[in-house]
Structure 1
Amino acid sequence: MTAPSKQTVCIVDDDAQVRRFLAEVLASVGLVAEQHASGEDFMRRWQPGKAACVLLDIRMPRISGPEVHDWLRDREPGLPVIFLTGHADVTTAVRAMRLGAFDFIEKPFNVQQLIERVNQAVRLATDKSAAGSGNDGWQRALTRREREVLRGIIDGKRSKLIAAELGISERTVESHRASIMAKAGASNAAQLAAMAAGQPPLD
């Protein structure tokens, strides 16, 4: 059984109403919410291995969501991060996904989508923990499509080429890439390729 701490979802948003709403939604599906009113508060209270997912607002005063994400990638790169964005922030969110974010969800929230993506992120954190410390444990947690994308990454192919070869969109490739990096605990594509070197993706 998953430890209770791994069911914790950190909410980082300067809007108290948004934090309360998200906490209520998460509680309705059995997840524990830890609320943070700012990036500084999250960074001050952050504990390695405690959370299963972070819901991170892009626009916050003083320290922005992307800055918090950069800080977090240096400390726990495998932790799934879902950005909360307004329509104008979508480009920034997509850029963050290329740097390893799990996904982004636009405001106002679609509650069902929010629940589904958070549950997927929590399962990812759980699967990665259950995969063990073996060198190929993270590869065993990949889906078949993620393994196909990983082969392209290992070969040094750009997302556009991988997408063309697999018959999927470039954005879908980026989403798979982000998921692969989160499962591997890699902070960038170069590190991911190095981790996979000498370990062919499992069939």
Structure 2
Amino acid sequence: MGFSLAFDARIMTASSQETVCIVDDDAQVRRLLAEVLSSIGLIAEQYASGEDFMRRWQPGKAACVLLDIRMPRITGPEIHDWLRERDPRLPVIFLTGHADVTTAVRAMRLGAFDFIEKPFNVQQLIERVNQAVRQGAETAAASGGNDGWQRSLTPREREVLGGIVDGKSSKLIAAELGISERTVESHRASIMAKAGASNAAQLAAMASGQRPRD
């Protein structure tokens, strides 16, 4: 496939034990990427499809995602959209063929960190992953950890939070999610406890990145 494992050890600067998710339907590409990432002290988690990634993804666990742009059923851009709703600060690097460059550039405008064309240069890949991991850590540090509570939410709690931010009642949220109003109230209480919010208005402000009012 034109890939080479020869690279300069001087650029092995990735943070130790950070996790990078590899989402690609090509097993050979996944194995190669995992080998490269492991060689610079990163933990590589492999996902053979978008469905597999979305099913197993855990908020706050990954430092970066390497995402194939063209996959069957669920495409890379669709996964990127899904991730932006759940962890918008997570750096995503698209892996793309030449024909998909326009799509990758469009994804960058929507917040993707970068894209790398296949067959990729291993040194370039390592450099960009290092930069993505560092940027993610710096962004989290700059935020002062104020949004750390959001990373602890379950997928269902994130859905309920979205309804709260939109100003929807518990009854409406319950109807849209197909769960009981009592379940929504339970999730709401759990979310407020994790956020340290005293009311729904304060919670919505915190989730939107605004300074909560006393």
**Shorter-chain TM-score range:** 0.5 to 0.7
Instruction: Determine the C-alpha separation between the residues in 1 that align with 2:107 and 2:37.
Output: 24
Instruction: Determine the C-alpha separation between the residues in 2 that align with 1:134 and 1:11.
Output: 28
| Counterparts of residues 34-183 of structure 1 (less than 5 Å) | 34-131=45-142, 132-133=144-145
After TM superposition, the score normalised by the length of structure 2 is: 0.60
- In structure 2, what is the equivalent of residue 23 of structure 1? 34
After TM superposition, the score normalised by the length of structure 1 is: 0.63
The amino acid across from 2:128 in the alignment is R
- In structure 1, what is the equivalent of residue 155 of structure 2? none
In structure 1, runs of 5+ residues without a counterpart are 136-193, 197-203
Structure 1 residues 117-176: Cα deviation after superposition (integer angstroms, max 9, x where no partner): 0000011111122221369xxxxxxxxxxxxxxxxxxxxxxxxxxxxxxxxxxxxxxxxx
- Whether 2:24 is the aligned partner of 1:13: answer yes
Name the count of aligned residue pairs: 136
Q: Larger radius of gyration, structure 1 or 2?
A: 2
- In structure 1, what is the equivalent of residue 7 of structure 2? none
Does the C-alpha gap of structure 1 residues 19 and 130 become closer, same or farther in structure 2, counting only changes over 3 Å?
same
Q: Percent identity?
A: 81
Does the 8 A contact of 2:16 with 2:42 survive in 1?
A: no
Runs of 4+ with deviation above 3 angstroms: none
Instruction: Determine the C-alpha separation between the residues in 2 that align with 1:8 and 1:49.
Output: 10
Aligned partner of residue 82 in structure 1, secondary structure: strand
Instruction: Determine the C-alpha separation between the residues in 2 that align with 1:31 and 1:115.
Output: 11
Aligned partner of residue 89 in structure 1, secondary structure: helix
Residue 195 of structure 1 and its aligned partner are, at CA, apart by: 6.3
The amino acid across from 2:25 in the alignment is D
In structure 2, runs of 5+ residues without a counterpart are 1-14, 148-207
Instruction: Determine the C-alpha separation between the residues in 2 that align with 1:122 and 1:67.
Output: 22
Does the 8 A contact of 2:113 with 2:132 survive in 1?
A: yes
The amino acid across from 2:94 in the alignment is F
